[in-house]
Amino acid sequence: MSAQTEQTINSEATAAPPPNPRIQSWKNFYKKLAKNKAAMVGLSLIIFFIVVALIGPYFTTYDPYEPNVMNKLAEPSAEHWFGTDHHGRDIFTRIIHGMSITLYVGFFSVVLGAIVGVILGVVSGYYGRLVDTVIMRIMDVLLAFPGILLALAIISILGGSINNVIIAVGIFSIPVFARIVRGSTLAVRKLEYIDAVKALGASDARIIFKHILPNVLSPIIVQGTLSIATSILTASALSFLGLGAQPPIPEWGAMLSDGRNYMYDAPHVALFPGLAIVVVVLAFNIFGDGLRDALDPKSKN
Task: Name the residue range of residue 176's domain.
Answer: 31-72+82-295
The model carries a pTM of 0.84
Query: Residue 289: inside a domain, yes or no?
Result: yes
CA dihedral sign, ordered 162, 281, 275, 83:
positive
pLDDT tens digits for range 213-264: 888 888 888 889 889 999 999 889 888 888 888 878 888 998 998 888 888 8
Query: Residue 203: inside a domain, yes or no?
Result: yes
pLDDT tens digits for range 115-142: 999 999 999 988 888 888 999 999 988 8
Query: Residue 23: inside a domain, yes or no?
Result: no
Query: Residue 210: inside a domain, yes or no?
Result: yes
Query: Residue 68: inside a domain, yes or no?
Result: yes
pLDDT tens digits for range 36-62: 788 889 999 999 999 999 998 998 889
Q: How far are the Cα atoms of 150, 203, 219, 287 from residue 181, in angstroms, in the given order? A: 22, 20, 8, 21
CA dihedral sign, ordered 30, 33, 36, 37:
negative
Q: Could you count the other beta carbons within 10 Å of the beta carbon of residue 177?
A: 25
Domain CATH number, residue 219: 1.10.3720.10
Query: Residue 178: inside a domain, yes or no?
Result: yes
**How many domains does the structure of the chain reveal?**
1
Query: Residue 20: inside a domain, yes or no?
Result: no
Query: Residue 5: inside a domain, yes or no?
Result: no
